[in-house]
Structure 1
Amino acid sequence: MFNKSVLGFLLTVCITYTSALYFHIGETERKCFIEEIPDETMVVGKYKVELFDRQQNMYVPTRGGLGMHVEIRDPDDSMIISRVQVFDMNIGDFVHTAPGPLGMHVQIRDPKGSTIMSRTYAAEGRFTFTSHSAGEHVICLHSNSSAWFGGGQLRVHLDIQVGEHANDYQQIAAKDKLTELQLRVRQLLDQVEQITKEQNYQRYREERFRQTSESTNQRVLWWSIGQTVILLLTGFWQMKHLKSFFEAKKLV
C-alpha cells in the first residue's frame, strides 16, 4: 500500500508543463500567453497557420507571404511549441497553412526586456530555447500580414512542451544507441532533474511572496503611524485655532 502511494505521488509530481490548443485571431490581431517556467528548462514549440477563406467558407492554407510572428518574453527560458491554422470555407473545416512563403517569426525576451532569440520560421515548424531564469514567460503571437485594416481570420494551433516532455527520447535512443532499460533510466533521471528545478522554483516563489508580505506589512505599519501623526497634528492645530478664536472674541 505504501509503495502504491509513493508511486502515485511520484507520477503526480513528475508531470511537467505541456499544453496543446488552437485559437482564432484576426490577421492583424496580437495574442499573448503567460507561462511560469523554472530556470535552465528546455522549451519546444511547434506551430502551424491557416487562413479563413470567405469564398470556400472554411480555413485553408494561408496565401503566400502570410505568416505568424511569435514573441516570447522569457524569465525562465523554457521550451514552447506553437502552431496556427485557418478555416477553409470550401471544405468547411480548419486546415493547415501552406508551406513556402508563409512563415512565423519567433522572438524571445527575458524579464529585463532583452531579446533572447529572434528568428523567422516556415509556416509549419518548431522552435526551441532554454530558460536561464525562473519566472513568467510572455509568449506573443501575431501574423506578418501587412494589411492595415480588417484582414482575414486565422486559426492558430499552439502546442507547448516544457521539461523532459520536450525531449525526443526515440531520437536520443537511436543516437546514443541506448537499450530500453537505459532509455527508461535516462527518462527517470530527467524527471528527477525536472522535479528538482520545480522545487527550486517553488522555493523562489515562496521567498518572493515572503518578501512581498513583509514589505506590505511594513508599509501598512508606517501608513498607520503616518495617519496617527497627521490626526494628532490636525487636532493640535484645531485646538490652537479655537483657542485663538475664543481669545479674539473675548470668550475666555
Structure 2
Amino acid sequence: MKSPSISAVLLLLLLPFSYALKFELVAQHGHNNERCIRNFVTKDTLVVVTAIVSGSRGDGQMVNMHIKDAVGNDYGRPKDVAGEKRMAFTSLADTAFDVCFENTLTGRTNVHNPSRHVELDIDIGADARDWSAIQANEKLKPVETELRRMEETVNEIVQELEYLRLREQKLRDTNESTNERVKWFALGTMGMLVGLGAWQVVYLRAYFRSKHLI
C-alpha cells in the first residue's frame, strides 16, 4: 500500500484540533428542542468542552447540556448552566460526539423572544491539555514545552492516518467480498437459467411425442 502523501499530511496539519462557536439559544416551552454541535474523535482521546452561557439562574430560562456520542456513550448532563462550565472526558470509541444545548422556559419573562448567548470551545487531544501546568510541574523551558506539544500533535496525526488506513482497508475488503458474492450469484443464476431451459426443451419434446406431433 502506498504511504500517505505529503499533501495529505500537510492537510491534516492544517486541520484545527480546537475551535470556538458563538450562537444564540432561543428559549422554548417543553423539551426536545436540543441544538447540537458534532465533531469526530478517535478512541482514548482527551476532549475538553468549555461553555460560557450568558444570563443567570432564576431568570425564567434554564439551559441544560448533554454530551454524548453516536454509539450511545454518555459523558455528562449538566443542568441549569449559567456562566462558565467546563467538562473533560476521554473518548471511548472512534466515533462522532455531540455537545447539545437545550433552553427551556421555566417561568414568565418580560423579554420578547428570550434567549441565552452561548460561547462554546472544544479542545481535542494535545490542545486539550494544560501546557502551562505541565511546564510548571516538569520545569520545562518554553521551547521544550512547545516541542512537546508539537510532538503530541504529530503523534495524533499519525494515529489519525493509521485509523484512515485501517478504515480504507476494511472498506476495500468489504467491496472485494461483495464483488465475489455478486460473481457467484451471477454464475448461479446463469446455471439455473440454462438448467431451466434444458428442462423445458426435454419436457416439450416429450409432450409433443406423446401427442404424436413429432
TM-score when normalising by structure 1? 0.60
Amino acid at match of 2:63: G
Amino acid at match of 2:13: V
- TM-fit CA distance, 1:139: 0.7
Once the two structures are superposed, the pairs formed by residues 58-207 of structure 1 within 5 Å of their partners are 63-73=59-69, 112-120=71-79, 122-133=81-92, 135-143=94-102, 145=104, 155-170=117-132, 173=135, 176=137, 178=139, 182-207=141-166
1:134/1:201 CA distance change after superposition, 3 Å? farther
Q: What is the count of residue pairs matched by the alignment? A: 191
Cα distance in structure 2, aligned partners of 1:228 and 1:141 = 51
- TM-fit CA distance, 1:67: 0.6
Contact 1:14 1:191 in 2 (8 A): no
Structure with the higher helix share, 1 or 2: 2
**Structure 1 residues without counterparts, runs of 5 or longer:** 1-8, 51-59, 74-110
Structure with the higher strand share, 1 or 2: 1
* Aligned-residue RMSD, C-alpha: 3.4
Q: Percentage identity across aligned positions?
A: 15
Larger radius of gyration: 2
Q: Counterpart of 1:69 in 2: which secondary structure?
A: strand
Cα distance in structure 1, aligned partners of 2:47 and 2:191 = 58
Q: Counterpart of 1:225 in 2: which secondary structure?
A: helix
Cα distance in structure 1, aligned partners of 2:89 and 2:56 = 31
Match of 2:35 among 31, 35, 38: 31
Amino acid at match of 1:17: F
Q: Counterpart of 2:141 in 1: which secondary structure?
A: helix
- TM-fit CA distance, 1:203: 0.5
Q: Counterpart of 2:62 in 1: which secondary structure?
A: coil
Cα distance in structure 2, aligned partners of 1:139 and 1:114 = 11
Cα distance in structure 2, aligned partners of 1:137 and 1:121 = 25
TM-score when normalising by structure 2? 0.69
**Structure 2 residues without counterparts, runs of 5 or longer:** 1-8, 107-112
- TM-fit CA distance, 1:153: 5.7
Amino acid at match of 1:160: I
What's the CA shift string for 1:157-201, capped at 9, x where partnerless? 32222233334444555x5394xx713312321220231132123
Cα distance in structure 2, aligned partners of 1:155 and 1:193 = 34
- TM-fit CA distance, 1:118: 4.1
Contact 1:164 1:187 in 2 (8 A): no
Amino acid at match of 1:164: A
**After the TM superposition, which parts of structure 1 deviate over 6 Å for at least 4 consecutive aligned residues?**
none
Q: Counterpart of 2:104 in 1: which secondary structure?
A: coil
Q: Which residue of 2 aligns with 1:83?
A: none
Amino acid at match of 2:127: H
